[in-house]
Amino acid sequence: MHVFEVPERRAGNRSGAEHSPQIVLGITSAQTCVVLTGRLRALREAGFHVTLVAGPGELLDRIGRTENVETIAVPMKREIAPLNDLITLARLWRMLRKTRPDIVEFSTPKAGLLGMVAALLAGVPCRVYLLRGLKLETATGIKRGILRVAERLTAACARTVLCTSASLRRQAISMDLAPPAKLELLGAGSSVGVDVKRFSPGWSDVRKEQGLPESAAVLGFVGRLTRDKGLPELLDAFELILRSHKNTYLLLVGWFDEAEDALDREWRARIHNHPRIVCTGFVADAAPYYRAMDMLVLPTQREGFPNAVLEASATGIAVITTLSTGARDAVLPEVTGLLVPAGYPGAIAEAAERLLEDPDLRRRMGAAGRRWVMEQFSNRKVLKLNVEFYKNLLKRKTSKPLAQAAMELAARSR
């Protein structure tokens, strides 16, 4: 793999490449590559020639090998950085002019914006913005306004905005980010679904490895350890829970992401120094960790569609998450789990205590959750919908001129 340059084609993705439709998928950070597991392979096996673009990192190289697709590393800054962003835009434009794909799919805020603009300027006929969430939901002031304009520009440059959940689509419509007809949802949502064989009930040795007593109750969290994921509220809620349920542990499966919503030093120290909190750091396979939990708690402020909630349900454990955009779609309330308002430690603690005190309810919710995920969100079903979407997109391939995109953006700005 070469940074900024189109790499030599891997043998596994070359067969019939001259006659295969070309698709480029782009995300901002190499860390986010984990959300593409299975999606890349499904497109390749369906006959697409697949290239993945992301910031450089070991995870980018790894997913290229495991999914057997080409990778191109293009450094991108998550934060607003005008000079660096212009350089990245030029590199993406150059890459797209060289690869000349039939389809591009860019997601995550920075890659979405720069990728969609570059694809429009490069004349890519099918441009898809995969909307995984709205960062502007937790932003305030001038920054919120900037992010809103950026989302509108991204959507204007795209031919289709593919939303990962029903509530995310509704939110995008309510914010007038794009015409409703341009905002699409496949099935019940999710971009990759869940491998229901890998994420299944069973035993694991995680408790023994992490020093968690078999007799203890374990609340779990899986994901980035950031403010927007609700870590401050979760930590405060955990202190409330310990008052009445002393034999309880909190298992944090994730890493301290250095994003704009990163936890400050005090919160990190609180996690590291707490005798009942176990923090694993990044793990390549979360499946055995879910099996060590009595319930999953995701007190997020915003989502697109949280994979962790679906994975936990597939593993057969009850879940607690919030009424936030995206998160609310991942639970059947009172059936597969509980929904609480975002930002309220007391509500999180009350929901967790209810489940701690009713093992039968936890088991029923876990069983119902697995059935629901198997019916609606198996990766086979979700990935099939995505592949069919892109095949149909090729059949009606047309290019929207730059002037038309500019007119749409102007209309959205009124």
- How far is 409 from 393, CA to CA, in rounded Å? 23
Is 99 within 8 Å of 22 (Cβ atoms)?
yes
pTM over the 0.75 mark: yes
Domains and CATH numbers, the chain: 11-193+380-412 (3.40.50.2000), 206-376 (3.40.50.2000)
- How far is 28 from 77, CA to CA, in rounded Å? 8
Using the structure block, give the residue that is written with the tokens 């198996």: 378
Structure tokens at 165: 């959940």
Strand order in the sheet with 126-131: 70-73, 49-54, 22-26, 103-107, 126-131, 160-163, 183-185
- In order along its 414 residues, the chain shows pLDDT tens digits of 444 444 434 434 544 445 689 999 999 988 788 888 899 999 999 999 999 999 998 889 999 999 999 999 999 887 777 889 999 999 999 999 999 999 999 998 899 999 999 999 999 999 999 999 999 999 999 999 999 999 999 999 999 999 999 999 999 999 999 999 999 999 999 999 999 999 999 999 999 999 999 999 999 999 999 999 999 999 999 999 999 999 999 999 999 988 788 999 999 999 999 999 999 999 989 999 999 999 999 999 999 999 999 999 999 999 999 999 999 999 999 999 999 999 999 999 999 999 999 999 999 999 999 999 999 999 999 999 999 999 999 887 655 555 565 556 556 555
Cβ neighbours around 58 below 10 Å, total: 10
Residue 17, pLDDT score: 47
Residue 364, pLDDT score: 98
